Structure formats: C-alpha cells, structure tokens
C-alpha cells in the first residue's frame, strides 16, 4: 500500500509539473503574440519590423515556489519611482517568504492603488524583482511578476512567468523601478531573457 501511495504522489507531481509547464508555454505564446500584434504591441512601427519575438529561459520547475505571504497593515500610499515622468500610487501589501536552492529569500509585493479599482484587478499584486541575471542576461532594472492575493497565507510564485517591462524594448514608457529591497542574491534562470 505504501509503494502505491508513493507512486500516486510521484505521478501527481509529474502531472502538476506537466500542467504547469503547458500553462507557462501558453502564457509565453500569448505574451509573444501581444508584442507581435500591431494593435497591442508597445513597440513602435519601425521597432516592430526587426522584432522576432521574446526570448525565454527553458521552463524550470525549480523556479515554481511556494511562498508564505506576510500581510502588512496600515501601509502609507507612496509614489513608485519610474523610468519616466509618470509615477503611480502604490502601497506595500506584504512580504513574501520563500526558498530556492535551500536559500531563504523575501520580496516585497505591492498594490497599484488605481489599478485595483478597475474591474478584474481587485486582487492584483505587483512583484518587481532584480536578481543576479539582471544587467547580463535580463533587463538591468529588473523583471516583474503579476500575482493575485491568495485566500490564505500561501501563494505560488512561478518565475517562469517573469517578464520585462516595456522599457526594456522601447522608449516612451514610465516603468516602475524595482526597489532595492527586492534584490535576490541568486540567478533566476526562468522567464523572459534577452
């Protein structure tokens, strides 16, 4: 019976991994399509002519991690620094605690005050981060993850869905600058790269 249970658990993990990889590949395909579509791309017409699509690290399940969300209360609203003139209002929502390669990390996660008022974005959380690939294999100002507020304290972070801000590819946008506290002293070899 014990061997059967272990086999079931191994198969369950494999199925989850395969499902998750399929979901990530679909996400990456949709992201690429949005960049290549003249109606949705952030790129200017002359930039789009030479654009062949986004480049991604191979899917890596090591960078799908369970994090514990420490919610913060009574946080003040602040202007998030950006690469341009426009600055949106944000507040610190919480701190995510997680482990990669037996190393413990934490990242601050934020809410855009105007965005959460829009339909479909009430639970949206913004997670900018910099890691040891930044400035080499990925955009120097960091990458982003979009996540949702979980019901409990646990949340899955899938770094395979990490993406560059528009500013990595074109000018004219005010992209949030990753706060210094969100530097990960490790390489996140997942998601979008150059």
Tens of pLDDT, residue by residue over 25-83, are: 999 999 999 999 999 999 999 999 989 999 999 999 999 999 999 999 999 999 999 99
Residue 14's pLDDT is: 37
pLDDT digits (tens, 9 = 90+) for 132-168: 999 999 999 999 999 999 999 999 999 999 999 999 9
Q: Is the pLDDT of residue 111 over 90?
A: yes
What mean pLDDT do residues 122-134 have?
98
Query: Using an 8 Å Cβ cutoff, are 192 and 159 in contact?
Result: no
Distance linking the first and last C-alpha atoms of the chain: 49
Q: Is the pLDDT of residue 18 over 60?
A: no
Residue 120's pLDDT is: 95
Q: Is the pLDDT of residue 94 over 60?
A: yes
Computed over every residue of the chain, the mean pLDDT equals 91
Contacts of 77-80 with C-beta under 8 Å, sequence gap 24+, read 77/113, 80/110, 80/176, 80/177
Residue 2's pLDDT is: 44
Angle at 23 between CA 179 and CA 186, to 5 degrees: 35
Token pair for residue 1? Answer: 């019976």
Could you give the C-alpha distances from 146 to 51, 112, 129, 161, 168, in angstroms and in order?
Answer: 24, 11, 11, 8, 17
Q: Is the pLDDT of residue 4 over 90?
A: no
Q: Tell me the three state secondary structure of residue 189.
A: coil
Token pair for residue 139? Answer: 């955009």
> Domain segments of the chain: what residues?
50-193
- To the question of pTM greater than 0.85 for the whole model, the response is yes
Q: Comparing C-alpha atoms, which of 162, 122, 135 is closest to residue 146?
A: 162
113 band by pLDDT with thresholds 50, 70 and 90: very high
Burial of 139 (0-12, 13-18, 19+ CB in 10 A): buried
Residue 119, CB half-sphere, CA atoms under 13 Å: how many?
Answer: 0
């Amino acid at each position: 019976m014990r061997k059967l249970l272990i086999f079931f658990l191994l198969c369950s993990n494999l199925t989850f991994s395969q499902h998750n990889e399929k979901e990530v590949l679909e996400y990456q395909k949709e992201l690429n399509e949005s960049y290549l579509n003249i109606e949705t791309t952030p790129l200017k017409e002359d930039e789009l002519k030479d654009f062949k699509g986004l480049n991604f690290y191979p899917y890596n399940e090591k960078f799908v991690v369970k994090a514990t969300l420490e919610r913060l209360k009574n946080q003040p609203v602040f202007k998030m620094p950006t690469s341009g003139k426009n600055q949106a209002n944000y507040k610190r929502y919480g701190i995510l605690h997680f482990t990669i390669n037996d190393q413990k990390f934490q990242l601050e996660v934020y809410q855009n005050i105007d965005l959460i008022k829009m339909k479909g974005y009430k639970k949206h959380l913004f997670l900018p981060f910099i890691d040891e690939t930044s400035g080499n294999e990925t955009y120097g100002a960091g990458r982003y993850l979009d996540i949702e507020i979980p019901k409990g304290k646990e949340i899955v972070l899938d770094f395979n869905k990490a993406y560059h801000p528009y500013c990595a590819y074109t000018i004219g946008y005010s992209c949030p600058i990753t706060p210094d506290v969100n530097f990960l002293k490790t390489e996140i070899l997942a998601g979008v790269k150059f």
